[in-house]
């Protein structure tokens, strides 16, 4: 069967054409093979912008998306209360000044439907849909050394080749449902928050069990409690949660943001976390107890991530951190009327901020409702799900529905779900068996021309994702452009550069209190996953400078192959 090429006669394609038709056909089977300059996996924030950028460069691109619509995280996570806890005006694209001016965010923290509308608007406005194939899950991405092409197969029977493969598959996109004994026997409905039914769920009159009290649990529990007859929360580890203090944006605020977008975005890019937080540069130890309390009250009144910026050393000094943790525990005690329930909700096993901090609306208050009860499954573990409910070591609970807010196989889950093979047939999952290894979080040695957006080793989930996504997409786009201008057919991370980067990522993480918590940042939520701190703690601004320096030095630490 003839190969189909839809590429322009650019430098890269001249090199492609040097690969014989027979060579490629023999690699993939007798099915017609379509070739693209680039294949992108995922059509969320990352995939949509990557497509836009590659099109700007004139590359033929195909995006594969497992969902029936675009939106990624915001397509799947439709549970009641789903909301972003980064402010809307920061959690949005900055690449198009026109888009920034057109779009009206309604609230400080955007709800899931609003973000999904925004992403659909982006897909339409930039005419992206014609290169996106929905309802299609990529099964394998296999590098062919002879042709220097990636061979991609999907569950819809597509078999395509591409010079560049870019994973935009999400850091928190592989739901984790623990293997509770008896789960299949449950006669009621079971939901995972990350795969919520599109038609919604009516819990009216139902006895609902919720397992999990992470960011998702604390968002969904207050909403379900408003509807259900009774909600039983099964909590293994209490989390620190801070008040969101969400509210509609005023017309004046919207106008001011629109007038100042360029400065606002620049500050985000140069910041530590990807959005503007005013950090107090004082240590919590250099002020009096009264001054500390006053400061904590001040930031508590503002709410959101600002609370963690009350002092400069909350994330690195255990004594300062404990002051903040004590303050939040006291707030829980003041809010929750039942002292025993309040005690159970107070975290003690990790420093504040070392597990992903939660941002809530009325979470602790929800435990003052008559129809909500809390079960500590740390002291009385879940033993099994029965046909009529859930049984712990000490008691049985009758339930009509069970909601698993049990999180995700973070950062590597979506990659390992695909068969990704690089040089010498090496499986990515095997290369990363002891933990992910990347250079700058964007490439891994032995996998040429495979880019990972917001991969392990980049600020990613420790930052405002949209800022980190744009930085990666732009860096990748610039890299592809550089390769064309310099007649390069492949780029690959060097092992020495990768080793040095992994060591640096660990060193920076160990300087903080992060490794003290059993968090998903460390893979601790997935049985058997190696305990390695995955995101880069060094800060968005510093990381951007480092990436730019690498590019300015002709992609230092990468091996580039030319074909002239
Ligand atoms: O998942 P999680 P999530 N038995 O892993 C519990 C982002 N996000 O979906 O801590 C009993 O944090 C588990 O208990 P433990 C954000 O980055 C953002 O809530 O392992 N319980 C924990 O309580 C966030 O961090 C927004 O002891 C079990 C919970 O399930 C990330 O997504 C909103 C259990 C899982 O918490 C993931 O959050 C929502 C078991 N066998 C999410 N297994 C925004 O607003 C797990 N648990 C942007």
Residue-wise pLDDT for 212-237, tens only, equals: 999 999 999 999 999 999 999 999 99
d(CA 34, CA 7): 10
State in Å: Cα 220 to ligand 1 middle: 12
Side-chain half-sphere exposure of 292, counting CA atoms within 13 A: 21
Question: Residues 409-419: what's their mean pLDDT?
Answer: 98
**Averaged pLDDT of the chain:** 94
Q: What percent of the chain has pLDDT over 90?
A: 93
Nearest CA to ligand 1 atom 34: 406
> What is d(CA 474, CA 116) in angstroms, rounded to the nearest whole number?
23
Question: Mind listing the pLDDT tens digit for each residue in 116-132?
Answer: 999 999 999 999 999 99
Q: Tell me, what's the pLDDT at 564?
A: 61
Q: Parallel, antiparallel, or unpaired for β 382-386 and 389-392?
A: antiparallel
Is the per-residue pLDDT at 449 higher than 90? yes
Residues 542-553 have a mean pLDDT of 98
Kindly give the distance from the C-alpha atom of residue 343 to the centroid of ligand 1, in angstroms, as a whole number.
20
For residue 13, what pLDDT is reported?
41
Residue owning the nearest CA to atom 39 of ligand 1: 216
76: nearest Cα among 154, 193, 178: 193
- pTM for the model: 0.94
Q: Compute the distance between CA of residue 173 and CA of residue 108 in angstroms, rounded to an integer.
A: 25
pLDDT of residue 79: 98
Is the minimum distance from the CB of 94 to ligand 1 under 6 angstroms? no
Mean pLDDT of 342-370: 97
- 405 touches ligand 1 (CB under 6 Å): yes
- Dihedral sign (CA 231, 237, 238, 242): negative
- Distance in Å, CA 113 to ligand 1 centroid: 21
Supply the pLDDT for residue 285: 98
Query: Other C-beta atoms within 10 Å of 70: how many?
Result: 25
What pLDDT shows up at residue 38?
98
Residue 413: pLDDT band (50, 70, 90) is: very high
Cβ of 236 below 6 Å from ligand 1: yes
Closest CA to 240 of 327, 301, 166, 159: 327
Arithmetic mean of pLDDT, 318-323: 98
Q: Mapped to the 3 state alphabet, what secondary structure does 246-287 carry?
A: CCECCHHHHHHHHHCHHHHHHHHHHCCCCCCCCCCCCCHHHC
Distance between CA atoms of residues 47 and 451, nearest Å? 12
Q: What residue owns the CA closest to ligand 1's atom 16?
A: 215
Q: Is the CB of 402 under 6 A from ligand 1?
A: no
Question: Residues 443, 550: contact at Cβ < 8 Å?
Answer: no
- Give residue 393's Cα distance to chain centre: 34
Distance 405 CA to ligand 1 centre (A): 6
Cβ atoms within 10 Å, residue 261: 16
Reported as a pLDDT band with limits 50, 70 and 90, residue 31 is low
**What is the structure's pLDDT at 33?**
83
What's the CA-to-centroid distance between 45 and ligand 1, angstroms? 21
The tokens describing 491, both together, are 């780029």
With a cut of 70, say whether residue 5 has pLDDT above it: no
Nearest CA to ligand 1 atom 20: 525
Is the model's pLDDT at 112 over the cut of 60?
yes
Q: Which among 82, 236, 519 is the best mutation to test ligand 1's pocket, defined by most ligand atoms within 8 Å of the CB?
A: 236
Residue 238 tokens, joined = 């209490």
- How long, in residues, is the chain? 564
Residue having the nearest C-alpha atom to atom 7 of ligand 1? 215
Cβ neighbour number for residue 453 with a 10 Å cutoff = 30
The pLDDT tens digits of the residues spanning 520-535 come to: 999 999 999 999 999 9
CA distance linking residue 352 with residue 378, whole number of Å: 19
24: CA distance to ligand 1 center in Å? 44
Q: Which residue has the tokens 């996106």?
A: 132
Quick check: 391 pLDDT over 50?
yes
Q: What is the number of the ligand 1 atom nearest to the C-alpha of 172?
A: 32
What's the CA gap between 444 and 114, in Å, rounded? 35
Tell me the pLDDT band of 276, cut-offs 50, 70 and 90: confident
Q: Is 406 in the pocket of ligand 1 (CB under 6 A)?
A: yes
Cα 519 to averaged position of ligand 1 atoms, centre (Å): 9
Give the span between the Cα atoms of 195 and 204, in whole angstroms: 20
- pLDDT(7) > 80: no
């Amino acid at each position: 069967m003839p190969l189909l090429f839809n590429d322009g006669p650019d430098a890269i394609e001249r090199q492609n054409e040097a690969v014989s038709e027979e060579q490629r056909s023999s690699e993939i089977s007798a099915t017609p093979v379509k070739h693209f300059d680039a294949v992108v996996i995922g059509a969320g924030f990352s995939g949509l912008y990557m497509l836009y950028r590659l099109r700007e460069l004139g590359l033929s691109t195909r995006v594969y998306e497992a969902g029936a619509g675009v939106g990624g995280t915001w397509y799947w996570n439709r549970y009641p209360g789903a909301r972003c806890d980064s402010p809307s005006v920061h959690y949005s694209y900055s690449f198009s000044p026109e888009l920034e001016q057109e779009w009206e965010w309604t609230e400080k923290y955007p709800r899931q439907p609003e973000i999904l509308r925004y992403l659909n608007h982006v897909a339409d406005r930039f005419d992206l849909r014609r290169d996106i194939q929905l309802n299609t899950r990529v099964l394998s991405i296999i590098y062919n050394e002879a042709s220097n092409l990636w061979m991609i197969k999907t569950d819809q029977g597509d078999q395509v080749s591409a010079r560049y493969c870019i994973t935009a598959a999400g850091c928190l996109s592989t739901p984790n449902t623990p293997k509770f004994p008896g789960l299949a026997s449950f006669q009621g409905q079971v939901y995972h928050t990350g795969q919520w039914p599109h038609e919604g769920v009516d819990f009216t009159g139902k006895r609902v069990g919720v397992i999990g009290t992470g960011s998702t649990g604390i968002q969904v529990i207050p909403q379900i409690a408003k509807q259900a007859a009774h909600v039983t929360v099964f909590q293994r580890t209490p989390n620190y949660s801070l008040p969101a203090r969400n509210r509609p944006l005023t017309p004046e605020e919207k106008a001011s943001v629109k007038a100042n977008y360029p400065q606002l975005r620049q500050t985000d890019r140069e910041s530590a976390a990807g959005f503007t937080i005013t950090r107090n540069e004082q240590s919590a130890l250099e002020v009096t107890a009264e001054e500390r309390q006053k400061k904590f009250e001040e930031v508590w009144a503002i709410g959101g991530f600002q609370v963690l910026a009350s002092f400069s050393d909350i994330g690195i000094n255990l004594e300062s951190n404990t002051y903040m943790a004590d303050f939040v525990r006291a707030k829980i005690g003041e809010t929750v009327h039942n002292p025993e329930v309040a005690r159970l909700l107070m975290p003690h096993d990790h420093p504040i901020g070392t597990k992903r901090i939660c941002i809530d609306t009325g979470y602790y208050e929800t435990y003052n409702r008559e129809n909500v009860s809390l079960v500590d499954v740390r002291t009385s573990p879940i033993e099994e799900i029965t046909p009529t409910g859930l049984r712990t070591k000490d008691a049985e609970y009758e339930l009509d529905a069970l909601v698993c807010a049990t999180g995700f196989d973070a950062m590597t889950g979506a990659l390992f779900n695909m068969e990704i093979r690089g040089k010498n047939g090496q499986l990515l999952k095997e290369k990363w068996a002891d933990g992910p290894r990347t250079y700058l979080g964007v490439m891994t040695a032995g996998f040429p021309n495979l880019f990972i957006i917001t991969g392990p080793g980049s600020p990613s989930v420790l930052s405002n994702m949209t800022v980190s996504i744009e930085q990666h997409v732009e860096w990748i786009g610039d890299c592809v452009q550089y390769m064309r201008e310099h007649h390069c057919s492949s780029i690959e991370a060097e092992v020495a550069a990768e080793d040095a980067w992994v060591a640096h990522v660990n060193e920076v993480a160990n300087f903080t209190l992060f490794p003290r918590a059993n968090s998903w940042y460390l893979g601790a939520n997935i049985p058997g996953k190696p305990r390695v701190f995955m995101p880069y703690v060094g800060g968005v601004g510093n990381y951007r400078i480092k990436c730019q320096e690498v590019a300015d030095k002709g992609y230092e630490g990468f091996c580039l192959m030319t074909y002239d």
